Amino acid sequence: MMRATTKTLRLFSSSGITAKRYFSSSRASFLQYKHVDTEYNNAQTPFDFTPESYEEIKKILAKYPAKHKQSGILPLLHLAQRQNKGWIPLAAINKIAEICEVSPKNVFECVSFYTMYNTTPIGRYQIQVCVTTPCMITGSDDILAALEDHLGIKLGETTPDKMFTLSEMECMGCCTNAPMIAISDYSSPEAFKYDYFEDLTVARTIEIVEMLKRGEYPKVGPQNGRRNADPLGGQKTLLFEDGDLPKPYCRNLDEQPPQQPATPQQK
């Protein structure tokens, strides 16, 4: 998922996980996992699902066999992250382990593996820049540099006003429409959004950021007039030059098949 090298240290207490993930999205750095108490995330940090979330949990777990509640770990992590404005505290990891009847380390392994989960507070909007090959060769490095310069932050950092967090992601599945970014809105569980913005230029990317600052939500999807992932010229692959559709071939059964040249074996 990440191009950075990973280095992992996991420590657990009898009461559950007491590890904290330090995240750096720098390509030359590596992820470290170690126990460090902070003011915002420690053994005393409270977390519990809301009554509305518990109702949602019932619906999620009902999709899986009763003996396989661990199948609900990933959607419950997403639910906790949406409820907690974009990040997952240790108490949420322990709570999910309790609900899914697994060890806290099983939940932590999911959190530490998938880069879409955050274990530190983030801004209202998380901007994730795709840096995989198709996006890279079409300008994602320029987009990333422009975002860092415009927002005044580096990868993995949050703006002082807590509005934007800048991250990088590996392939998000829109290679035809590269380069692209994904933007998550964690202002509230009800307002949660996760949208793709594709076929970007540096100028359009900065324009999107400025729209968010003004309280406007930009058009999602391709930004250059493309429809979904269609060719830029439209759906014309099967058309003749005159714009007509090709007709299906129908062979005349009374017509003699053309003579084929004799093969060396037949000679």
Query: Positive or negative, the Cα torsion across 124, 129, 130, 131?
Result: negative
Backbone angles phi, psi at 133, to 5 degrees: -50, -55
* Residue 100 known to bind ligand: no
Cβ atoms of 110 and 74 closer than 8 Å: yes
Q: CA 193, CA 184: separation in Å to the nearest integer?
A: 5
175 is in an annotated binding site: yes
What's the rounded Cα separation, in Å, for the pair 258 and 149?
68
Q: Is the peptide bond before 222 cis (omega within 30 degrees of 0)?
A: no
Which residue matches tokens 């970007």?
A: 200
- The answer to whether 118 touches 125, Cβ cutoff 8 Å, is no
Give the residue from 146, 213, 215, 218 showing the smallest Cα distance to 179: 146
Report the binding-site residues for [2Fe-2S] cluster. 130, 135, 171, 175
Q: Which residues are documented as binding site?
A: 130, 135, 171, 175
